[in-house]
């Protein structure tokens, strides 16, 4: 890993970032938090505005009721004085209508207007931008449309729906309009006395719009902070996800191209999340792939070498055959060629079988196999066929424990035959070959001990390699391929077991091959 990446990783650790947090949690945090803040802010602004308007509606209704009650049974002079006082003190416009619906008094005519509407054309650019945002927010949250405020053409009360509602119901009616600068104009109408008079109060509640805009500005700061946090989290994810993935991609491409066999796939051991698991899985897969490729290459080289020897001998015998007239010598050459043909045929059969093992075992379904019964059946079958060549097979089973293992019966049978064939080839005639079975906790152990010269400790691992050539000197050429123990070892590994070579435990000359397999449990494992 480059020095810069390592320093960045250390800084992230000092900040408290944990490599062990699930990627799912990180992605959800980045996408949900910012969206939740944004959505919540929109609903908050709308609810805040509604609360302010509702409060002002209640205030306007109270003001209208109190003022209407105060104007009842007052003289004209007293009414004018009271309307001017209330209008200037509370920044209201009060209109009083008689029982015919005609305008009697208007506080704006009696005194200086307590408020004036702002002309949007005279406002600065920022105010215009604020109004555009107001419209955009209303569209975004689906706010209902509100009529614009306009003074009626005539002084009649019929031009005000709120007055008609108040007179019809005998209670205060509330209305809402928008001033030219889109600030709310609150309208309240109330009946005055019992003679059919009515009062209309209007107020330009510009402070509501200012409060809403201030709240929106505050929330904009919060959303901006959330956006910055989201960006930082995204950069963090880019560092923790995209960067390592790019490294893995580059390493995988180099491995695929095969240009550098020393490509190191980063394992990211400090990461416990899915990226770390992926990195280690790819690294292990690459190592296994390299081992498999190396094994195939070695196998191909060994096959070529093993086939070359009998083919060379056969070619030499056939080339010499045409030049020899002696019948005895010709017969010997033909016998050599025949042996070489049998050797090649035997090798090809074994090689084909060895090549099929991995593919067959990858598709095989393991079933319970009783190793004690399988061993006894194999011993009986070999004795019947007479393939032990005078060597006596002794089966010893320790205890009455269950010797069942999960596996492929035909492949485990092949393992046992190969182990016994190996023991037969090394044991002198008349010497017994001992097959022992034992249960050791959750493992089943099968050992095959011969009376041969034994296996030197230095080559005990090599005997399981393909085409290993440590054979008895008395053995007839071509009777063994050198693949028996290698095939057995491959099958045992596919059964999650082990196959190893040891000395005989009784101290006598000979080798002891030990097969260990996991025992079958009640769950079928």
Identify which of 163-177, 309-323, 337-351, 457-471 has the greatest average pLDDT. 163-177
Q: How far apart are CA 426 and CA 455, in angstroms?
A: 10
The predicted structure's pLDDT at residue 305? 66
Neighbours of 346 (CB within 10 A): 16
Query: What is the phi/psi pair of residue 420, to 5°?
Result: -70, -40
**Mean local confidence (pLDDT), 18-44:** 66
CA distance 23 to 17: 13
If you average pLDDT over every residue of the chain, what do you get?
Answer: 82
- The domain over range 364-525 is classified in CATH as 3.30.360.10: no
Token digits for 79?
Answer: 């009414």
Do 267-362 and 364-525 come out as alike in CATH topology?
no
Any idea what DSSP says for residue 239? I
Which tokens belong to 492? 């045992």
Is residue 108 pLDDT above 90, yes or no?
Answer: yes
- How many angstroms separate the CA atoms of 23 and 236, rounded? 11
Q: Cβ contacts of residue 257 below 8 Å, gap of 6+?
A: none
The side-by-side arrangement of strands in the sheet containing 93-97 is 103-106, 93-97, 197-204, 184-192, 173-178
- Looking at domain 23-216, its CATH architecture is 2-Layer Sandwich (3.30)
Structural domain boundaries of the chain?
23-216, 267-362, 364-525
> Residue 420: in which H helix or E strand, if any?
helix 409-426
Q: Cα–Cα distance between 230 and 234 in angstroms, integer?
A: 6
Alpha-carbon distances, residue 328 vs 318, 321, 322, 332 (angstroms): 15, 11, 14, 6
Categorise residue 390: left if φ over 0, alpha if ψ from -120 to 50, beta otherwise.
left
- Global pTM exceeds 0.85: no
Q: How far from the centroid of its chain's Cα atoms is residue 33's Cα?
A: 20
CATH hierarchy code of domain 267-362? 1.10.287.130
How many alpha carbons lie under 13 Å from residue 467 in its C-beta half-sphere? 16
What average pLDDT score do residues 77-86 get? 94
Chain segment 492-510, per-residue pLDDT in tens: 998 999 999 999 988 888 9
DSSP code at position 282: H
Query: Is pLDDT larger for residue 121 or for residue 479?
Result: 121
Out of 8-12, 302-306, 330-334, 398-402, pick the least confident.
8-12
């Amino acid at each position: 890993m480059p020095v810069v990446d390592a320093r960045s990783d250390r800084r992230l650790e000092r900040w408290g970032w944990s490599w062990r947090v699930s990627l799912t949690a990180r992605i959800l945090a980045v996408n949900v938090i910012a969206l939740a803040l944004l959505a919540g802010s929109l609903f908050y602004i709308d609810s805040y505005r509604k609360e302010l308007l509702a409060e002002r509606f209640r205030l306007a209704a109270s003001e209208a009721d109190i003022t209407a009650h105060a104007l009842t049974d007052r003289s004209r002079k007293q009414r004018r004085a009271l309307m001017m006082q209330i209008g200037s003190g509370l920044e209201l416009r009060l209109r009083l209508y008689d029982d015919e619906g005609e305008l009697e008094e208007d506080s704006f005519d009696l005194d200086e207007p307590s408020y004036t509407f702002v002309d949007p054309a005279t406002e600065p650019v920022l105010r215009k931008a604020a109004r555009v945002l107001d419209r955009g927010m209303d569209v975004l949250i689906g706010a209902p449309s509100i009529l614009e405020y306009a003074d009626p053409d005539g002084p009649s009360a019929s031009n005000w729906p709120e007055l008609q509602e108040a007179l019809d119901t005998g209670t205060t009616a509330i209305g809402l309009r928008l001033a030219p600068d889109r600030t709310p104009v609150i309208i309240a109408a109330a009946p005055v006395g019992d003679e059919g008079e009515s009062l209309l109060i209007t107020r330009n509640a510009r402070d509501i719009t200012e409060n809403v805009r201030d709240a929106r500005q505050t929330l904009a700061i919060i959303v901006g902070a959330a956006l910055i946090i989201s960006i930082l989290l995204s950069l963090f994810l880019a560092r923790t996800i995209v960067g390592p993935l790019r490294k893995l991609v580059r390493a995988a491409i180099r491995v695929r191209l095969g240009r550098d066999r020393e490509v190191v796939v980063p394992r990211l051991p400090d990461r416990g999340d899915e990226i770390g698991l992926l990195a280690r899985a790819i690294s292990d897969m690459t190592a296994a792939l390299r081992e498999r490729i190396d094994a195939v290459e070695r196998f191909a080289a060994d096959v070529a070498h093993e086939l070359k020897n009998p083919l060379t001998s056969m070619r030499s015998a056939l080339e010499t055959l045409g030049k020899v007239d002696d019948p005895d010598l010709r017969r010997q050459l033909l016998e050599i060629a025949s042996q070489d043909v049998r050797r090649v045929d035997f090798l090809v059969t074994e090689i084909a079988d060895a090549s099929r093992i991995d593919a067959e075992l990858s598709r095989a379904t393991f079933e319970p196999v009783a190793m004690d019964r399988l061993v006894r059946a194999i011993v009986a079958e070999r004795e019947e066929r007479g393939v032990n060549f005078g060597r006596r097979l002794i089966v010893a089973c320790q205890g009455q424990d269950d010797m069942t293992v999960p596996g492929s019966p035909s492949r485990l049978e092949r393992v046992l035959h190969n182990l016994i064939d190996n023991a037969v080839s090394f044991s002198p005639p008349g010497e017994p070959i001992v097959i022992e079975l034992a249960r050791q906790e959750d493992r089943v152990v099968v050992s095959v001990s011969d009376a041969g010269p034994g296996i030197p400790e230095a080559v005990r691992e090599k005997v399981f390699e393909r085409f290993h050539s440590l054979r008895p000197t008395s053995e007839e050429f071509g009777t063994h391929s050198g693949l028996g123990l290698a095939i057995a070892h491959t099958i045992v590994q596919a059964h999650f077991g082990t196959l190893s070579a040891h000395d005989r435990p009784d101290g006598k000359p000979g080798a002891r091959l030990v097969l260990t397999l996991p025992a079958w449990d009640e769950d079928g494992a």
